[in-house]
Structure 1
Amino acid sequence: MIPKAGRSFILLLIAALALLSGCSGPALTDYAERGPKLIPEQFFNGELTARGVVKGFSGEVIRTFDADISASWDSAGVGTLDEEFRFDDGEVQTRVWTLTPSDTADSYHADAGDVAEPGMLRWSGNTIHMNYVLQIAYGDGTLDVRMDDWMYLVTPDTLINQTTMSKWGVDVGELVLVIQRK
C-alpha cells in the first residue's frame, strides 16, 4: 500500500503530466487534408520575395525586413534557397539553405552556414514544419537560438511563415513573414 503522502505526490505528478501534454502544439499530420497542397520543389522554385517582422520576447515588433529568395533544384533533387534579408536598420543578412532529400518521404535535411544544428524540413497538406538551431549575432559573438518554423501555403503563390525563437526552452522572440512567388 502506498502511503497517503506518496499517493498525493503521484496524483500531482499525473495532473502535471496531463497539463503538459495539453500544452503540446499541433502535429504536422493535422494539416494532411488542408489545401492548397504544398510541394516544396514547386513553391520554392525560381524568384520569391518576402516581407516580415521580428518580435521581441514581449511581442513588440523590434525590426521589419524584406527579402529576395532565389530557389532552385538540381538533378539529384537537392534544393538551394539563396536568401538576402534587408532590415529596416540597414543590416543585410544572407543565408543559403541546402535541402537534401532524406531517407523518408516528404522530408529534407536542411542546413545553412549559420545553422548550428541542422533541421529536418517536413511537409503535409498545405504545411511545412522545420526545427533547427540558428547562430545569431550577439555582442562580439553569436548566440544559438532554437527556431521552430511553421509555414502555411494560403494560395498557390503565397506562403505565411511563423517562427518561434527560444533559448533554454524559453520563448525569446518570433518572426512572422509572407513569402510570395514572383
Structure 2
Amino acid sequence: MPAAVLPRAALLLATGLFLAACSTADITEYQERQPRLVPEEFFRGPLTAHGIVKDRSGRVTRTFNAELTGSWQDGEGLLEERFVFDDGEVQFRDWKLVPSATDNRGVRNFTGYAGDVVGPARVRVSGNAMFIRYTLQVPWKGDTIEVAVDDRMYLVSDRVLINESRLSKWGFDVGEVVLTIIRGQRP
C-alpha cells in the first residue's frame, strides 16, 4: 500500500469508528420487547421514583426520591411529580402528554409539555420502550441554563420502569440521571 494511502485509510477507519460509537438505538428496535409499555396504563395512579444524578465524569452528585401521580382524561395524560433531593431541595414538574399519530412503523407518538421544558417534548413509544427528547431549564449557579435531555425508559415488569437520561449542552455530555419508577401504592 502506498504511503499516502495509509493515512487516508486510517482517517476513514477512525471516522467510521467514531460515527458508529455515536449512533444510538432507534425506538423501533424495541417493538417486539415485552412487557409492552402502554403509557395510559403504567402512568396511572400513584408511582414512586428513586434515582441518582451524575456529573459529566460519572460521579454521583445527588440522589433523590419522588412521588408521582398519573391520570388520563379524554386520551391526554397528566403526570404530577414531586422530587426530594438528598440536600433537601424539592422540585415539582407536571407533564402533560398529548397523543399524536402512530407512524407507519407502529411507533406511538405523543407531545409532552411541562413548565420548565422549553417548547414541546417529542415522546415515542414502541414495545417496552419510551424515548423522550426535550430541552430542560435547569437551575445553575444562581441562574438558569437550558440542557438537552434524551430520556430512555424501559419497562422491565408490569410495575417497574428503568429510566436513563443523558444531559447535554452544545452537543457535549454534561451529566446523567438514572432512576427507577415503581407503579403502585406509596409506603
| Residues 125-168 of structure 1 deviation map (CA, whole Å, 9 limit, x = unaligned) | 11111111100011232000011100010000000000011111
Corresponding residue number in structure 2 for 1:111? 113
Matched pairs, number: 177
**d(CA) in 1 for partners of 2:79, 2:86:** 22
**d(CA) in 2 for partners of 1:16, 1:119:** 34
Specify which of 13, 17, 24 is matched with residue 19 of structure 1: 17
**d(CA) in 1 for partners of 2:111, 2:8:** 41
Matches within 5 A, 1:138-149: 138-149=140-151
**d(CA) in 1 for partners of 2:14, 2:148:** 25
Residue 102 (structure 1) shift: 1.4
Residue 80 (structure 1) shift: 0.4
Q: Percent identity?
A: 48
Residue 18 (structure 1) shift: 2.5
- For structure 2, which runs of at least 5 residues remain unmatched after alignment? none
**d(CA) in 2 for partners of 1:138, 1:68:** 24
| Residues 63-113 of structure 1 deviation map (CA, whole Å, 9 limit, x = unaligned) | 0000001101112x1100000000000000000001011133501001100
**d(CA) in 2 for partners of 1:43, 1:152:** 12
Aligned structure 1 segments of 4 or more residues deviating by more than 2 angstroms: 7-21
Equivalent residue of 1:42, what SS?
helix
**d(CA) in 1 for partners of 2:157, 2:64:** 22
**d(CA) in 2 for partners of 1:10, 1:102:** 46
2:28 aligned with 1:29: yes
2:138 aligned with 1:136: yes
Corresponding residue number in structure 2 for 1:171? 173
Equivalent residue of 2:40, what SS?
helix
- For structure 1, which runs of at least 5 residues remain unmatched after alignment? none
TM-score of the aligned structures, taking structure 1 as reference length: 0.90
**d(CA) in 1 for partners of 2:27, 2:7:** 34
Corresponding residue number in structure 2 for 1:43? 42
Residue 32 (structure 1) shift: 1.1
